[in-house]
Amino acid sequence: MPELDPMESLQVVYAQALVRERARARLTQDQLGQHPAVMVSGKLIGHVENCRRPPTARLSQGIDTALDLNAYFQSLFTHWKKEEGPPSAIYEYADLEINAASLKMYSCQWVTGLLQTPEYAREVFSAGESSDRIDVLVTGRMERQKILDREDPPWVVVHLDEFVIRRIVGSRDIARGQLAHLLELMQRPNVSISVVPDGARVYPVGSFVLLESPEMPNLAYLEAAAGHSLLLQSFAQVRELRIQYDQIAAEALTVADSEKFIREVMEGL
C-alpha cells in the first residue's frame, strides 16, 4: 500500500495521529480496540490507521478516553467531517451495533448484512467497487457478525420478504449457501428469522433496523442507496418504525413455517 500523504486530507492526518498516539501509549491495535471506552476489533483500528475505514464520533471519543487526550481526536473528526461531509451512517451504526442488546430487522431487498455469507456479501458489494475495496468491505461485514458469537449475544429478530428468499444473488450455489446459513442461524436461541409472504398487507418503502443498546435505547437505522443511510434518534420517528415493525411481524409466517419455506426454496435451487 502506498505511503499516506497528510497533505491529501484530514482523514490522513487523523490516521497518522492515531498511529503516533497509540505508539506513544505503547498499545497494540488489539489493545486499543479492547479498551472499555473503544470496544472495536484491532483490525478495525488498523483500517482507520490506513484510511480504509473512516473514523466516527463515537470512536473518536473512545480513543480520546483510552489515550487520556483532551478531545484531540474528537476535534480532528469534527474538522474532517466539515471537509469531507459526514461519513455514511453505517459506520456510526456499526459502532453502536457492537454493544446492542437487541436488533430487530426488516429487509425487503436482500439478506441483511449481519446474516450474510462471505460469498453473498461479495456479490452485494460487487457493483461499482474495485476488488481491493470489496475485500475490505466483506472483511468489515464478517467482523460485524462476531457479535453473534460473543458470550452475551444480542437478541436478533429478522423479517425477510419472500422476494429476498427467492432472489438469486450471484449464482444458485451462492443463493443455496446463503439459505443454508439462514437455516443454521435459526437454530441459535438468540436468533429468530421469519418470512413475510407475498401478498402480506404491509408496504414498507425500505429496509430498516431497530436497535437497543445501553448507549442508545431509542435508535433506528434506515438503509438507502449509495451509502446515504440514516440514523434516527427522534422518539416520534423511531416510534413510527416500531409500529410498522409490529405490523410486519403480524403478517409474517411463524418461525416454524418460515424454516420450512426457506428449506423448500433452497432444495428447489
CB atoms inside a 10 Å sphere around CB 19: 16
Which residues touch 83 (CB under 8 Å, ≥6 apart)?
A: 9, 10
Q: Assess whether pLDDT exceeds 80 at residue 142.
A: yes
Identify the top-confidence range among 10-14, 88-92, 232-236. 10-14
pLDDT tens digits, one per residue of 179-199: 999 999 999 999 999 999 998
* Partners of 216 in beta bridges: none
Q: Assess whether pLDDT exceeds 90 at residue 53.
A: no
In whole numbers, what is the pLDDT of the chain averaged over residues? 88
pLDDT tens digits, one per residue of 94-104: 777 877 889 99
pLDDT tens digits, one per residue of 228-238: 678 888 888 89
pLDDT tens digits, one per residue of 115-127: 999 999 999 988 7
Beta strands in the chain (DSSP E): 102-107, 155-161, 191-196, 208-212, 219-222, 230-232
Query: Given strand 208-212, what is the order of strands in its sheet?
Result: 191-196, 155-161, 102-107, 208-212, 219-222, 230-232
* Radius of gyration from C-alpha coordinates of the chain: 20
What is the pLDDT averaged over residues 142-165?
A: 92
The pLDDT assigned to 55 comes to: 87
Query: What are the structural domains, with CATH classification, of the chain?
Result: 10-87 (1.10.260.40), 90-268 (3.30.870)
The pLDDT assigned to 119 comes to: 96
The larger pLDDT score, comparing residue 133 to residue 172, is at 172
Tell me which of 30-44, 79-93, 139-153, 166-180 is least confident: 79-93
The larger pLDDT score, comparing residue 155 to residue 53, is at 155
Q: Assess whether pLDDT exceeds 50 at residue 51.
A: yes
Residue 156 gets which letter from DSSP? Answer: E
Q: Assess whether pLDDT exceeds 80 at residue 8.
A: no
Q: What predicted TM-score, i.e. pTM, was given to this entire model?
A: 0.77
Q: Which three cell numbers stand for residue 187?
A: 437454530
Q: Assess whether pLDDT exceeds 70 at residue 56.
A: yes
The pLDDT assigned to 87 comes to: 65
What is the pLDDT averaged over residues 13-29?
A: 94
The pLDDT assigned to 86 comes to: 63
Identify the top-confidence range among 1-5, 134-138, 209-213. 209-213
pLDDT tens digits, one per residue of 212-226: 877 667 888 888 665
The pLDDT assigned to 1 comes to: 45
